[in-house]
């Protein structure tokens, strides 16, 4: 087990290093952040100063070493616009994104898992076809379109829900008294963006649940349980459910992190001050260090989660840890 964890950790470090290198290389191969910032016809002295302030006038290997070295010290550089460390701005916004992501995650689970199970238990029935149709529609309607429809219906026509912002509750790192209440307030503001974000993923959850459940229901041990004469509800609730939920939960965990990171368009539509909106603001201000910082953080989060999932799987299932 120790050896397995060490090997997985090594893989994660390699993946992370490759990711950092890819980002460094692609950014310099495909474009020039200074040219984006300075526009055409800018004062050459200004451009030169920009280059120097980013260290872009140095040789490439030197830039790379500096980049990796700063990352190792958790230094993501300074934002252009606000001249604050990227890290500080990012962590100030992160709780808002986590709140939105968690809510969307719960919605996608609540929609996807029960209907996926129903669909798998009654293959080719009305339920199954309805489930398939909803999953397909979920995967085909972009979240921002769903968000705009929600705004039109519930925000403007009916006027039930607030359209913009996250409400007055705030998560302040320096004030622990705000830490708990933040998650339980202003759910009215949360409802529409969370649904719009969770919508897309609930289709995916439905499909995963359905196929996982079908796999388990077709397996030998379920046939044996049925042969024993166990009543069907027991077969599903006690024997099939647990095993079919393992892949679903893995997938859900990954989805949670993806939701935290890809809510860019939805956060823009609902003016939700999370990391997605931070990314958008940085994009429109051509604040390249900020963009890069947010992207690196999302890569780091996902690599760490993958590592955790691998370790948990190895812990649960000896076949996995011995095969390495």
Binding site for another protein (CB under 8 A): 14-16, 18-19, 22-23, 26-27, 30-33, 36, 123, 136-137, 139-142, 144-145, 148-149, 151-152, 156, 211, 214, 258, 261-262, 264-265, 268-269, 279-280, 282-284, 286, 288, 291-292, 294-295, 298-299, 302-303, 306
DSSP string, 71-119: HHTT---B-TTT-SBHHHHHHHHHHHHHHHHHHHHHHHHHHHHHHHHHH
Minimum Å distance from CB 145 to another protein?
A: 4
Six-digit token string for 39: 């526009």
**Is 279 within 8 Å of 89 (Cβ atoms)?**
no
Chain centroid to CA 254: 7
Minimum Å distance from CB 240 to another protein?
A: 17
Closest CA to 217 of 117, 321, 318: 117
Chain centroid to CA 292: 16
**Is 182 within 8 Å of 171 (Cβ atoms)?**
yes
User: If residue 161 lies in a helix (H) or strand (E), which one and from where to where?
Assistant: none
Minimum Å distance from CB 228 to another protein?
A: 26
Looking at the Cβ atoms of 247 and 299, the one nearer to another protein is: 299
Minimum Å distance from CB 255 to another protein?
A: 10
Looking at the Cβ atoms of 194 and 275, the one nearer to another protein is: 275
Closest CA to 98 of 176, 2, 15, 197: 197
Dihedral sign (CA 108, 110, 115, 118): positive
Looking at the Cβ atoms of 79 and 306, the one nearer to another protein is: 306
Minimum Å distance from CB 180 to another protein?
A: 29
> How far is it, in rounded angstroms, from Cα 160 to Cα 274?
23
Looking at the Cβ atoms of 64 and 145, the one nearer to another protein is: 145
Minimum Å distance from CB 166 to another protein?
A: 18
Looking at the Cβ atoms of 51 and 185, the one nearer to another protein is: 51
Looking at the Cβ atoms of 50 and 294, the one nearer to another protein is: 294
Minimum Å distance from CB 279 to another protein?
A: 6
Tell me how far CA of residue 187 lies from CA of 7, 26, 266, in angstroms: 43, 40, 16
**Is 266 within 8 Å of 104 (Cβ atoms)?**
no
Closest CA to 11 of 310, 299, 249, 294: 310
Looking at the Cβ atoms of 54 and 182, the one nearer to another protein is: 54
> How far is it, in rounded angstroms, from Cα 143 to Cα 167?
21
- The backbone region for 41, taken as left when phi is positive above 0, alpha when psi lies in -120 to 50, beta otherwise, is left
Minimum Å distance from CB 195 to another protein?
A: 16
Looking at the Cβ atoms of 89 and 151, the one nearer to another protein is: 151
């Amino acid at each position: 087990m120790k050896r397995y964890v060490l090997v997985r950790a090594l893989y994660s470090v390699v993946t992370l290093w490759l990711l950092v290198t890819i980002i460094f290389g692609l950014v310099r191969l495909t474009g020039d952040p200074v040219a984006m910032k300075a526009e055409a016809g800018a004062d050459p002295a200004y451009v030169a100063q920009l280059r120097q302030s980013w260290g872009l006038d140095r040789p490439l290997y030197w830039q790379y070493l500096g980049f990796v070295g700063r990352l190792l010290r958790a230094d993501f550089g300074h934002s252009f616009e606000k001249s604050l460390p990227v890290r500080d701005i990012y962590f100030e916004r992160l709780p808002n994104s986590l709140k939105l992501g968690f809510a969307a995650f719960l919605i996608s689970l609540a929609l996807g898992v029960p209907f996926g199970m129903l669909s798998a238990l009654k293959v080719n029935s009305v339920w199954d076809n309805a489930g398939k149709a909803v999953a397909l529609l979920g995967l085909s309607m972009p979240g921002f379109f769903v968000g705009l429809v929600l705004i039109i219906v519930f925000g403007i026509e009916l006027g039930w829900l607030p359209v913009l912002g996250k409400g007055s509750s705030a998560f302040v790192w320096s004030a622990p008294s705000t830490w708990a209440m933040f998650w339980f307030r202003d759910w009215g503001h949360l409802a529409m963006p969370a649904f719009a974000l969770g919508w897309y993923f609930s289709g995916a959850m439905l499909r995963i649940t359905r196929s996982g459940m079908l796999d388990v229901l077709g397996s030998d041990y379920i046939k044996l349980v049925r042969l024993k004469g166990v009543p069907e509800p027991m077969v599903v609730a006690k024997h099939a459910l647990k095993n079919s939920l393992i892949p679903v939960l893995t997938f859900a965990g990954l989805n949670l992190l993806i939701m935290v990171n890809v809510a860019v368009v939805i956060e823009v539509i609902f003016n939700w001050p999370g990391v997605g909106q931070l990314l958008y603001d940085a994009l429109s201000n051509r604040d390249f260090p900020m963009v890069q910082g947010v992207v690196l953080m999302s890569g780091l989060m996902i690599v760490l989660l993958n590592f955790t999932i691998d370790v948990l799987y190895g812990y649960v299932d000896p076949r996995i840890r011995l095969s390495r």
